[in-house]
Amino acid sequence: MDRIQLVSTAAAVLLLFVVLEMVRRRRLLERYALLWLLAATVVLALAVWRGALVKLAHVVGIVEPPNALFFIALAFILLLLLHFSSALSRLSDQSKVLAQRVALLDTRLRALQAATDGTDEDEPIAVTLGELEQTRS
C-alpha cells in the first residue's frame, strides 16, 4: 500500500470515527450524519479498493488515481456546501417570519393589556406563561 493510499484510508477512518462520535454526543443530527457517513464510506472503499479507483480515474480522464479520490471528495464537499446553503437560506426565511409573528403578538398583547388595565402601551410588560395561555383562548 503506497503512502497516499494509506493517508486516504486513515483520513476516511478518522472521518467515520469523528462523525459517529459527534452523533453520539448529539452535536450532529442523524440526517446530516448519514451524508457524512456515506462520503467517508465511499472514500474508504475507493482508498482500499485500488482497482475501482483506477477504473474511475480512467473513466473520468484523470491520469493519477489518487487525484480521482480527491476529486470525488471535493465534489462531495461542494454538493454538501450547496445543501447547507439551501438549508441556511430556508432557516433564515423562517426566522424572519417567526420574528414578524412575535412582533405582531407583542403588539396585540400590549393593546390587550392597555385595553384591560388602562396602562400605557409603552410600559414594559411582565407576562407569565399562564397569562399568555389565557389570552390565546
User: What are the residue boundaries of the structural domains of the chain, listed by start?
Assistant: 3-136
Residue 117 exposed, middle or buried by CB count within 10 Å (0-12, 13-18, 19+): exposed
- Per-residue pLDDT tens for 64-105? 888 888 888 899 889 989 988 999 999 999 999 999 999 999
Q: What angle do CA 12, 18, 22 make, to 5 degrees?
A: 145
- Per-residue pLDDT tens for 20-35? 999 999 998 888 888 8
Mean pLDDT over 42-49 rounds to 87
Give the residue carrying C-alpha cell 472503499.
45
Beta strands in 18-115 (DSSP E): none
- What the block records as the C-alpha cell of 128 is 407569565
Instruction: Give 7 or 124, the one with higher predicted confidence.
Output: 7
To the nearest 10 degrees (0 to 180), the angle between helices 65-117 and 3-24 is: 20
Average pLDDT, the chain: 85
Mean pLDDT over 2-18 rounds to 89
Q: How far apart are CA 93 and CA 86, in angstroms?
A: 11
pLDDT for 22: 94
